[in-house]
Structure 1
Amino acid sequence: MNLPTYAVVSLGGVTVGLSLLGWTLARWWVTYKKKSFKAARALAPFISCALYGMLLILSAGGLLGAAADWSLWGSSAIGDAVLEYGVGGDTPDVTRTSNLVLTDGGHAVVIIATVVLVAVWTVRRGFRWDLFGAVLCGISLGLSSGVAGVAGWVLSPVVSTLGDAVVGLL
Structure 2
Amino acid sequence: MNYITRGGVTVGLILLAYHLVTWWPGRKTLMKDPVKHASRLLPFLASWAYGCLTTLGVGGAVGWISGAILGLSNWLGDVALVWGVGGDGGQSAARATFLPLSGPGLGIVLILTAVFAAAVKKASEDEAGVLKRGAWCGVTLGTSAGVAGFAAVPLALAANWLGDNTYGRL
TM-score computed with the length of structure 1 as normaliser = 0.88
Q: What is the distance in 1 between the residues matched to 2:27 and 2:43?
A: 16
Residue 39 (str. 1) matches residue 37 (str. 2) = yes
Classify the secondary structure of the residue corresponding to 1:57: coil
Q: Does 1:108 align with 2:107?
A: yes
> What is the rounded CA distance, in whole Å, between the counterparts of 2:123 and 2:154 in structure 1?
32
Counterpart of 2:167? 167
SS in 1 for 2:81: helix
TM-score, normalization by structure 2 = 0.88
Matches within 5 A, 1:132-143: 132-143=132-143
1:21-170 matches, within 5 Å, as 21-30=16-25, 33-35=28-30, 36-94=34-92, 95-124=94-123, 126=125, 128-168=128-168
Q: Do 2:54 and 2:109's aligned partners in 1 also have CA atoms closer than 8 Å?
A: yes
Offset of residue 156 of structure 1 = 1.1
Amino acid at match of 2:22: R
Question: What's the Cα RMSD here?
Answer: 1.9
- Contact 2:25/2:37 (CA < 8 Å) preserved in 1? no
Contact 2:95 2:150 in 1 (8 A): no
* Structure 2 stretches lacking a partner, 5+ long: none
CA offset at residue 125 of structure 1? 5.9
TM-aligned CA distance change 1:125 to 1:40, over 3 Å: closer
- Alignment partners' CA distance in 2, 1:99 and 1:77: 23
| Structure 1 residues not aligned, in runs of 5+ | 1-5
Moved over 3 A (4+): 30-33, 124-127
Q: What corresponds to 1:15 in structure 2? A: 10
Task: Give, in whole Å, the separation in 1 of the partners of 2:103 and 2:54.
Answer: 13
Paired residues in the alignment total 164
- Percent identity of equivalent pairs: 37
Residue 92 (structure 1) shift: 2.9
**Could you report, residue by residue, the CA deviation over 1:93-129 in whole angstroms, capped at 9, with x for unpaired residues?**
1222333210011111111111111221222465822
Check whether the contact 2:142–2:152 (CA below 8 A) recurs between aligned residues.
Answer: yes
Describe the shift of the 1:46–1:32 C-alpha distance in structure 2 as closer, same or farther (beyond 3 A). farther
